[in-house]
Chain A
Amino acid sequence: MMTALKRAVFALLLLALSFAARAQLTIEITGAGANRIPIVIADFVGEPGVSRAVALVVRADLERSGLFKLLDAGVPLAENAAVNFADMKARGADALVVGSVAPTSNGRFEVRFRLHDVQKQASLGGLAYVMTAQQARATGHRIADYVYEKLLGEPGIFSTRIAYVVKSPGRFELQIADADGMNAQTALASREPIISPAWSPDGSRLAYVSFESKKPVVYVHSLATGSRHVAANFKGSNSAPAWSPDGSKLAVVLTKDGASQLYSLNADGSGVVRLASSAGIDTEPYFSPDGQFIYFTSDRGGSPQAYRIAASGGTAQRITFDGSYNVTPRLSPDGKSMAYISRNNGRFQLTLMDLATRQTQVLTDSDKDESPSFAPNGRMILYASEIGGRGVLAAVSSDGRVKQKLSVQAGDVREPAWGPFPKH
């Protein structure tokens, strides 16, 4: 029987949860990979509450990647248990994760896990982590990263974060969430629009454009402290910040000399240098991962197309030639592909170009795609779209097969930016 006080606390808790639920970014998988790896993530042995929390995160992460088919183990399996490989084979599994959780002397937990190759009947390795109960999700993400990397040969992104803007009536919020949409935190709340968030390469800062002064101004915002400074507020409009790979400079678009043109400046706003000149609009700069080139959108040739210029300056080279509208060029982390938005029969669609062969592939079937952003392992591309008139985010794998939809319950989401790998 609940006392009045307990009822009140319970009601408050429900209210808090419902607010959190409205703000939470929900991710659904709507398309899976061609050959998903069948895997069993067994329930871990020991400390049932914490074990379950960790294993659930590992399963959800691998499922959401679209590259794994989750199978059932039946029973909890300890990290050092002898594995019945025949049974696993019979279940159709190619891989198996087992684990154990035990309390440590100072109120924490030790999580040990092991990954087995069922075909080879051998252990592929394992790790142990010491964590607090609050770190259960983070630990689950680390385990999922380990499994992903061992089986697919590329780093996992389950411990990364994404930034995006939520618009609700009269309010804009720049939010940062874990890659699975959980733990969303608001970096900036404003009555005026926020666009073009860009992560510094070390993940410690966000550059963005805010309209709080009734004109676009570029800010650099320190995430740990919440403090920020104006990086560019020249006469006219200031926008489209892009970080150099060493994190020391920003390429930006300024109109202080008349038209929208590309400039570079130090992250503290000093040292403005003109990067390129054209008679039209130059915008949306993006550094190649090796820092050698800046890709950008320009209509200097008569229609908006993707170009690149050496970061040290020089002549711009045109990159896109098909169609009359190709914008927002964004290089993959390995520098080999370029994602961008092309307009096809009036439909704005995420497109991928192989820079060596110049072959292109339209990756979506929607018509209002915007703002592509690569995951730091290059596998998925996050972008903004619209479904039923509402702003949502979506992600698609570079081969077009794995598809995810990310939405918030109350509001439109837009302007996504995928953060870098965390520094461990």
Chain B
Amino acid sequence: MRKELMIILGAALIAGCGTTGEPEQTGAPVEDRGARKIDSTEVKPVTTADPMGAALAAVKQGVLANRSVFFDYDSYVIKDEFKSLVEAHARFLAANPKVKMLIQGNADERGSREYNLALGQKRAEALRKMLTLLGARDDQIEAVSLGEEKPRCSEANEGCWSQNRRGDMLYTGEF
């Protein structure tokens, strides 16, 4: 983006140089008003504003880098311990209305795949609801489910199952 900007500015400067002044009428030599070689120090780079870039860098640091909310068995209730995390993401979304989020809900592997897909959806939807209640706009967030299909671990025990009962928040550029 920046490179194209510089070339355009350079061309504009060149165009500007060739058209000023009146041709001499008598005797005087015609100056060569052709293109001058552009010295890179003469062109001041202009940075256009890039709020999305700055915002999306912010979500990779601090509390916003935490993207996962974990759930109890057969539950889609957002536990108290995650409320401040959800608030932080809601505030960020409210402050950056052009940023979009995809929430992917997950379930542990016990039981039917399609029922688990629906359970994962309930978790994603609960997160989405809380985020919009706390300031995010409806059209900023899509809630989807991965069910039991993309687990973080595969052991058949509660240690693993609890890791997979989860909602993940993804920002623009990550999906």
State the A residues within 8 Å of B (CB).
Answer: 193, 195-196, 211, 214-216, 235-237, 239-240, 253, 255, 258-260, 281, 283-284, 297, 304, 325, 327-328, 341, 343, 348, 370-371, 389, 415
Q: Is B144's beta carbon under 8 Å from chain A? A: yes
B143 proximity list for chain A (CB < 8 A)? 236, 255
- A284 CA to B115 CA, complexed, in Å: 8
B149 proximity list for chain A (CB < 8 A)? 193, 195, 211
- Interface code B116-160, partner A: CB below 8 Å = 1, 0 otherwise? 011101100100000000000000001111110110000010000
**Restricting to B73-106, which residues have a CB under 8 Å from any CB of A?**
102, 104
Q: Is B72's beta carbon under 8 Å from chain A? A: no
Which 9 A-B pairs give the minimum distances between C-beta atoms?
A260-B118, A215-B144, A193-B149, A281-B118, A327-B112, A237-B145, A240-B114, A283-B114, A284-B114
Nearest-CB distance from B175 to chain A (Å)?
5
Q: B117–A343 contact, CB under 8 A?
A: no
With a 10 A CB-CB cut-off, give which of A193, A341, A348, A389 has the most chain B CB atoms.
A193
Q: A348–B111 contact, CB under 8 A?
A: yes
Q: B121–A259 contact, CB under 8 A?
A: yes
Q: Which of A214, A235, A389, A415 contacts B113 (CB 8 A)?
A: A415
B44 proximity list for chain A (CB < 8 A)? none
Q: B144–A328 contact, CB under 8 A?
A: no
A370 proximity list for chain B (CB < 8 A)? 112-113
Nearest-CB distance from B50 to chain A (Å)?
25
A281 proximity list for chain B (CB < 8 A)? 115, 118-119, 122
State whether A284 and B112 are in contact (beta carbons under 8 Å apart), knowing that A195-B149, A237-B144 are contacts in the complex.
yes
State whether A328 and B114 are in contact (beta carbons under 8 Å apart), knowing that A255-B121, A258-B125, A259-B125 are contacts in the complex.
yes
Q: A214–B142 contact, CB under 8 A?
A: no
Closest to B175 in A: A214
Nearest-CB distance from B71 to chain A (Å)?
15
Q: Is B110's beta carbon under 8 Å from chain A? A: yes
State the B residues within 8 Å of A (CB).
Answer: 102, 104, 110-115, 117-119, 121-122, 125, 142-147, 149-150, 156, 175
Q: B114–A239 contact, CB under 8 A?
A: yes
With a 10 A CB-CB cut-off, give which of B102, B121, B147 has the most chain A CB atoms.
B121
Q: Which of B104, B115, B144 contacts A304 (CB 8 A)?
A: B115
Q: B115–A327 contact, CB under 8 A?
A: yes
Q: Which of A216, A327, A415 contacts B111 (CB 8 A)?
A: A327
Q: A283–B117 contact, CB under 8 A?
A: yes
A195 proximity list for chain B (CB < 8 A)? 113-114, 117, 147, 149
- Identify 17 new A-B residue pairs, CB closer than 8 A, beyond the known A284-B114, A370-B112: A193-B149, A193-B150, A211-B150, A214-B102, A214-B144, A215-B104, A216-B145, A236-B121, A236-B144, A237-B117, A237-B121, A281-B115, A283-B117, A283-B118, A328-B114, A343-B111, A415-B113
Closest to A238 in B: B144
Q: B114–A253 contact, CB under 8 A?
A: yes
B111 proximity list for chain A (CB < 8 A)? 325, 327, 341, 343, 348
- A163 CA to B147 CA, complexed, in Å: 21
22 pairs, A vs B, C-beta closer than 8 Å: A193-B150, A195-B114, A195-B147, A211-B149, A211-B150, A214-B175, A215-B104, A215-B145, A216-B117, A236-B143, A236-B144, A236-B145, A237-B121, A237-B145, A239-B117, A240-B117, A255-B121, A260-B122, A297-B112, A297-B114, A348-B110, A348-B112
- A119 CA to B117 CA, complexed, in Å: 56
State whether A211 and B146 are in contact (beta carbons under 8 Å apart), knowing that A216-B117, A237-B117, A281-B122 are contacts in the complex.
yes
State whether A216 and B144 are in contact (beta carbons under 8 Å apart), knowing that A211-B150, A258-B125, A259-B125 are contacts in the complex.
yes
B175 proximity list for chain A (CB < 8 A)? 214
A236 proximity list for chain B (CB < 8 A)? 121, 125, 142-145
Closest to B154 in A: A389
With a 10 A CB-CB cut-off, give which of B110, B143, B149, B156 has the most chain A CB atoms.
B149
State whether A196 and B104 are in contact (beta carbons under 8 Å apart), knowing that A255-B143, A259-B125 are contacts in the complex.
no
- A348 CA to B108 CA, complexed, in Å: 14
B113 proximity list for chain A (CB < 8 A)? 195-196, 370-371, 415
- A417 CA to B25 CA, complexed, in Å: 92
- A340 CA to B51 CA, complexed, in Å: 53
Q: A260–B121 contact, CB under 8 A?
A: yes
Q: B144–A253 contact, CB under 8 A?
A: no
- A297 CA to B115 CA, complexed, in Å: 8
B146 proximity list for chain A (CB < 8 A)? 193, 211, 215-216
- A341 CA to B118 CA, complexed, in Å: 17
- A328 CA to B117 CA, complexed, in Å: 13
A196 proximity list for chain B (CB < 8 A)? 113-114
- A348 CA to B142 CA, complexed, in Å: 32
B125 proximity list for chain A (CB < 8 A)? 236, 255, 258-259
Closest to A239 in B: B117
- A260 CA to B149 CA, complexed, in Å: 17
Q: Which of A235, A260, A284, A327 contacts B142 (CB 8 A)?
A: A235
Nearest-CB distance from B42 to chain A (Å)?
47
Closest to B146 in A: A211
- A258 CA to B118 CA, complexed, in Å: 11
Nearest-CB distance from B81 to chain A (Å)?
25
Nearest-CB distance from B119 to chain A (Å)?
7
- A127 CA to B143 CA, complexed, in Å: 58
Closest to B143 in A: A236
Nearest-CB distance from B115 to chain A (Å)?
5
